[in-house]
Structure 1
């Protein structure tokens, strides 16, 4: 199936209403919601090209419905539903395009995209932030119909006709072991049997997805501030960057480039709970701090998903690279002028 035409979907609907009307009660909108809900009940899987993997909703029907709706409304909810349909239908290439669409809506249509900011509510962006936060919901989050992180981890990284297609979830399952776990040697053989140009194509797609996600984070931080912007590091660091590190490692073995560092170096699955495996190496830089915190977050999301600790750690991560005054401005902007006066610093 042909890729979606992102520039066309970003084009304004009319000069008077660039993002069209609110169609959240339109029959077509409700039909797409119903199809997605049916998929949650059926436990839909990502299409990896293997038999018996595509269950649940008709993702192409959802995709078509979203594309039609985006011709009449620019809506973040429709955009994210299309993004997951593209992921399920086209794998990581589709997900990259979905992130490109979300980025474009935020960069080009912030003032008018639906749900619109309500002046009677002080232009509170909370509804928008909650919608976008679903991109990075931890695996196993209750009532999460989109399940981006699980589905992105299921998307294949290998393209081996003989050995099969395997993704990040398979690597984690093989590392954990247990009944029914895929064989690590088979997964490695699938990578070895994947052509270099195919591995490079996967790496390029992941690079594009990460670039779009970083741009989304940047525009949200600029518009609403770091304290109110949703934390997308779970999707970025624990899924996309880890997948990129895996692919980069296999490319580097062939002399096709250096393996990029993941959130904590090269790919390493999280240790099972209770194994007593500790962080290795001294912490000598802000990058080491971020890597250590990411591993703590990964533990909680895997083994204690209801804990609020990851939220607090991610809040702290946003402060790692900031100066003292930048931290004060982020945490308590109302006292920044007082700090300037006490320190004899000119206000910006």
Structure 2
């Protein structure tokens, strides 16, 4: 889903700073239904189909309501939807919106504080707590933390935060077997700039959470307390991953040679050539490439694997190339074990390594 223009949302409304109270608006009342998935049920012969949350509709509904109101609950649902639709950038956008409300519109924002109820902030705190719930169906009906662990670590590879937690032994392996060695090998050859950018984004999200909690807790005093502990814990894992990968990899950029093309005489080219040829052409002379470090060599292996996966789906080459990546950091004995367990046993016998049961 396209990213919203968040800067246009950081405004007061012309018909009163916080606009209308949409608490009883039909669209407002449907937000929870859009956000919470429903499991299928089977009672005897009667089967009721479940349904997934509709985060696209949820985000669109929040944007519609935003034209009428400035409401923390709408902002929280928007944050959840934007994250589930757009990843970490969406989470950053949503938190920016919440930060604007608590920093600039605390006295006017909905749900409003009731002086007759000692300005009890519980409803506001509960609204914001939706983005950092305790895990479990009761505490997290939206299953937001499950979506957080499903966020992709990078754009190029399919691995998620959950995969990283499995690789670290923090979570048990799921039914889908994760090749940890392959994951680690592929991560080490990602462009450093992407890892650095992700680390900055994660750090900024942490700063936004800390700032929002600090402002809210200063406003409410002894009447309540807002904590984003659950979400902050997941972000710490994410940040640790980016820091770890960044420290292991060498800064490198993809090897490209830009060659200025000559201006072609359009009158001498046919129509098909006009669609292809450009005034400036980017040319990579693969035959003349000189690989001068290990990191670039591994990058090229991964690029070759990606190419054959897309261009020749039935080719065995991607499996062989990925296996080479997986073996790149293995020692001699581990490589033998990877290739043929019987060979490993013979080597141990020749080296005089005793069986473990001896």
Is it true that 1:102 corresponds to 2:98 in the alignment? yes
Larger Rg over CA atoms? 2
Pair 1:9–1:251, CA change in 2 (3 A): same
Say whether the 8 Å CA contact 1:173–1:181 is kept in structure 2: no
Say whether the 8 Å CA contact 2:188–2:248 is kept in structure 1: no
Provide the residue aligned with 1:90 in structure 2: 86
Provide the residue aligned with 1:121 in structure 2: 117
- The residue correspondences of 1:3-14 to structure 2 (distance < 5 A) are 3-14=3-14
- The residue correspondences of 1:28-43 to structure 2 (distance < 5 A) are 28-37=27-36, 39-41=37-39
2:227 to 225, 231, 238: 231
| Secondary structure of 2:153 counterpart | coil
1:171 to 164, 176, 179: 164
| Secondary structure of 1:135 counterpart | coil
| Secondary structure of 2:16 counterpart | coil
Provide the residue aligned with 1:240 in structure 2: 235
RMSD: 2.2
Is it true that 1:133 corresponds to 2:111 in the alignment? no
Say whether the 8 Å CA contact 2:65–2:74 is kept in structure 1: yes
| Secondary structure of 1:165 counterpart | coil
- The residue correspondences of 1:142-157 to structure 2 (distance < 5 A) are 142=138, 144-157=140-153
Distance in structure 2 (CA, Å) of the matches to 1:69 and 1:181: 43
Distance in structure 2 (CA, Å) of the matches to 1:151 and 1:60: 14
Structure 1 spans left out of the alignment, 5+ residues:
43-54, 257-348
Say whether the 8 Å CA contact 1:91–1:155 is kept in structure 2: yes
- The residue correspondences of 1:202-281 to structure 2 (distance < 5 A) are 202-225=198-221, 228-236=224-232, 238-255=233-250
- Which contiguous aligned blocks of 4+ residues in structure 1 show a shift greater than 6 angstroms? none
Is it true that 1:76 corresponds to 2:69 in the alignment? no
Q: What is the CA deviation profile of residues 45-98 of structure 1, one whole-angstrom value per residue up to 9, with x for unaligned ones?
A: xxxxxxxxxx82332222111111111111111111111111111011111111
How far 1:141 moved relative to its partner? Answer: 4.5
Provide the residue aligned with 1:24 in structure 2: 23
Provide the residue aligned with 2:63 in structure 1: 67
Distance in structure 1 (CA, Å) of the matches to 2:138 and 2:53: 20
Question: More displaced, 171-180 or 88-97?
Answer: 171-180
Distance in structure 2 (CA, Å) of the matches to 1:193 and 1:40: 40
| Secondary structure of 1:224 counterpart | helix
TM-score by length of 1: 0.63
Provide the residue aligned with 2:196 in structure 1: 200
How far 1:252 moved relative to its partner? Answer: 1.2
Structure 2 spans left out of the alignment, 5+ residues:
41-50, 252-358
| Secondary structure of 2:194 counterpart | helix
Say whether the 8 Å CA contact 1:84–1:146 is kept in structure 2: no
How far 1:40 moved relative to its partner? Answer: 4.5
| Secondary structure of 2:131 counterpart | helix
Q: What is the CA deviation profile of residues 214-265 of structure 1, one whole-angstrom value per residue up to 9, with x for unaligned ones?
A: 11011012112377222212211x1112101101110111256xxxxxxxxx
